[in-house]
Chains A and B, each alone.
Chain A
Amino acid sequence: MSVATTMQLALRDAFHRRDAPGHALARDSTRIAAACRDMAGRFRRGGKLIVFGNGGAGADAAHIAVEFLHPVIVGKRALPALALSNDAATVTAIGVREGLAETFAHQLASWAGPHDIALGVSRDGRCPNVLRALRTARDLGLLTVALLGGTGPDPAPDGGAHADADHLLLARTADPDVVKEIHVTTYHLLWELTHLFLDHPDGPADDPAEDSAENAAEDTTRDTRAHPRPAPPPEPPCGDTCVTCSDQATPVTVVRLLHGGLALADTGTGTEEISVALVDATVGDTVLVHAGEAIAVVTKGAHHHGRH
């Protein structure tokens, strides 16, 4: 094999290794957007972003913090952010006395408030101090985001990050270099989309589903020229939506009846277990669910003037 051919193959391989993870990242766009929506909600409430990671991921943490705090793009507001790994004195002090695994968790416990966001970066998802800090953050009520790498469904076999991250963002490759590159793209997206949710003038940053539903509704009730476009499917009730009385407590479709008065229902974005013990519902029926309990079967076509 000639040198030129070897070069060509190596080049092709180098690009090829970046191909699949890049596409996988694109497929994760909904996850990333969901994380940004929640992050924007926290910033709106006065929260700050706390980032941490070891080694190269520590450098990423610093990069993320400065990205939010002092954006290179003019006209975007500065958002409070700090990287725990930047503080060499504190990190080494805790490391020497308490052990490396305690470093970030210790700092978090002093810095964090319940409105904050914790973002842990780990190339392989196995860094004990990053996992420990995510758990501490979760216990303190922070929004937890994990930026990890690996090929399996769960890069941390002990399940740590899965259990403790509200949002798990993955660079889906085993190649450490590519993980890093995907991470940079991911956190640039995090910054960009968080601002998008913050700046969106037409609605609250907390709920993109509600936001877009609102726009759709405006089209149909206010603008004479616009054609009604289909509203997006309802999202399952999320953190900031009232689930007790609101109409957001969505109509869902019964998919399968389970024993004990329970059923699987299609919410439009996935299936959820609900109780149908109080209604006569069969598969295919649309039921109205409040707090996990179906209270009425939505019948069709009877919406005009009722009896009295």
Chain B
Amino acid sequence: MRFVDEYRDAGQARALAAAMAPLCRPGRTYKFMEVCGGHTHTIYKHGLEDYLPEAVTLIHGPGCPVCVIPMGRLDDAVHIAEQPDVIMTSFGDMMRVPGGRGSFLDAKARGADIRMVYSPLDALKIAKQNPRKRVVFMAIGFETTAPSTAMTVLRAEAEGIRNFSVFCNHVTIIPAIKAILDSPDLHLDGFIGPGHVSAVIGCRPYEFIAHTYGKPLVVTGFEPLDVLRSVHQILTQLAHGRSQVENQYARVVPWNGNAKALNAISRVMELRPYFEWRGLGSISHSALKMTEKYAAYDAERIFHIPGVRVADPKACQCGEVLKGVLKPWECKVFGTACTPETPIGTCMVSSEGACAAYYNFGRFSRSRVKEATGR
């Protein structure tokens, strides 16, 4: 298949693996963070860790939008869903995320009208078909999905649809990366930069990572060879004492991003002063809300939401996993009390969550074997 086969070639993968070894300085270890959950998924699915030099460890970052939503926000969403005449619409993987009062599916079983959609456009269609209902779209995601939400609001405005609103939980990637860089318990040597987020925001916003923090970042695609090439590029930079932003994923990501998409976002949304992330705490200017001008489409303004902060379950260590401090299997409940069938924390829910990806694909990887045999 075009754009897939050429990025899964075994011979090239081995050649890359061989080329990486001499780039590692003897006695030094390297920790790279893949920010995006899509990369975590690729890494475990294809067993890429086994291709890397022993000295290289990949740390899984906070880039799964489902995983970083705190329980309190979900409870707010359930509260909205349970208001009279409301149809709540949500992406499928949000349905099973447990909140303080259960998940969307539990609320649905209690009688709330919650429907799964593949895009906000589908939610808008439901609004058109149900003019007497108030249709709310549970908007989540990084800059990849924010344009879709923004365009849908603009379409609703253009078509004069008044019974549609957005519960906006969009987050932005840069402040999260900055929070991780500033976090004292983690020392990283480089970043595998998110691919599709960068298709929207471009590569420029990452430059402070290279210039101020002195860490290489390579914007990376999602096929196995993409990830291996990008690790090779990061190691090359480090071997030559450079720290730069590079674009390995140029077939999709323009250096300056997608101006139309950014424009659509900024017409409809603005930065929140702060937003709470699961595991990372409150990060300033790290999320988006609807602007005053689009207040009529803002579920937060339309419905009175409790906005109560809910502590994460005690046993769950999603926070440490999201920050990359713990590997998934080091969590106390991983694979025992917490499984994809009965998730306790968010990382186990979405297929992009580090724990779910690891549970599904990575149980026999090199690092796991090492850990199990104590070597």
Q: Which residues of A pack against B, CB within 8 Å?
A: 44-46, 113-115, 139-141, 203-204, 214, 216-224, 228, 230-231, 233, 236-247, 249, 251, 260-261, 273, 275, 277-279, 286, 288, 290-293, 295-296, 298-308
Q: Are B148 and A275 in contact (CB under 8 A)?
A: yes
Query: B200-239 toward A: CB 8 Å interface, digit per residue (1/0)?
Result: 1001000000000000000101111010000001000000
Q: How far is the CB of A237 from chain B (nearest CB, A)?
A: 6
Q: For residue B42, which residues in chain A have a CB less than 8 angstroms away from its CB?
A: 247
Q: Are A307 and B352 in contact (CB under 8 A)?
A: no
* Interface residues of B, dominant DSSP: mixed
CA distance A216 to B7 in the complex (A): 12
Q: Are B148 and A293 in contact (CB under 8 A)?
A: yes
Known contacts A278-B147, A296-B252; 6 additional CB pairs below 8 A are A204-B340, A243-B91, A244-B66, A260-B155, A290-B145, A298-B252
B9 proximal to A (CB < 8 A)? yes
CA distance A260 to B152 in the complex (A): 12
Query: B236-254 toward A: CB 8 Å interface, digit per residue (1/0)?
Result: 0000000011111111111
Q: How far is the CB of A201 from chain B (nearest CB, A)?
A: 11
Total count of chain B residues near the partner, CB < 8 A = 83
Complex partner residue of A224 from B10, B92, B195, CB under 8 angstroms: B10
Q: Are A240 and B92 in contact (CB under 8 A)?
A: yes
Query: B109-122 toward A: CB 8 Å interface, digit per residue (1/0)?
Result: 10000001011111
Q: For residue A218, which residues in chain B have a CB less than 8 angstroms away from its CB?
A: 46
Complex A-B, nearest 3 residue pairs according to Cβ-Cβ distance, in ascending order: A292-B119, A306-B247, A247-B222
CA distance A137 to B147 in the complex (A): 35
Q: Are B148 and A298 in contact (CB under 8 A)?
A: no
Residues of chain B in range 83-128 having any CB-CB distance to chain A below 8 Å: 91-93, 105-106, 108-109, 116, 118-122
Q: Are B109 and A114 in contact (CB under 8 A)?
A: yes
* Interface residues of A, dominant DSSP: loop
Give the residue name and chain of the A residue nearest to B159 (CB).
Answer: A260
Q: Are B341 and A286 in contact (CB under 8 A)?
A: no
Complex partner residue of A291 from B36, B141, B155, B245, CB under 8 angstroms: B141
Q: How far is the CB of B104 from chain A (nearest CB, A)?
A: 9
Q: How far is the CB of A70 from chain B (nearest CB, A)?
A: 23
Complex partner residue of B199 from A140, A221, A237, A296, CB under 8 angstroms: A296
Q: Are A222 and B250 in contact (CB under 8 A)?
A: no
Complex partner residue of B8 from A228, A275, A296, A299, CB under 8 angstroms: A228
B38 proximal to A (CB < 8 A)? yes
Q: For residue B289, which residues in chain A have a CB less than 8 angstroms away from its CB?
A: none
The segment out of B182-190, B256-264, B270-278, B306-314 that lies at the interface is B256-264
Q: Are A243 and B92 in contact (CB under 8 A)?
A: yes
Q: Are B222 and A292 in contact (CB under 8 A)?
A: no
B134 proximal to A (CB < 8 A)? no
Q: Are B46 and A221 in contact (CB under 8 A)?
A: yes
Q: How far is the CB of A158 from chain B (nearest CB, A)?
A: 18
Q: Are B3 and A286 in contact (CB under 8 A)?
A: yes
Q: Are B260 and A246 in contact (CB under 8 A)?
A: no
Q: Are B141 and A244 in contact (CB under 8 A)?
A: yes
Q: For residue A238, which residues in chain B have a CB less than 8 angstroms away from its CB?
A: 92
Residues of chain B in range 309-365 having any CB-CB distance to chain A below 8 Å: 340-342, 350-352, 360-361
Q: Are B233 and A305 in contact (CB under 8 A)?
A: yes
Q: Are B64 and A231 in contact (CB under 8 A)?
A: no
CA distance A221 to B41 in the complex (A): 16
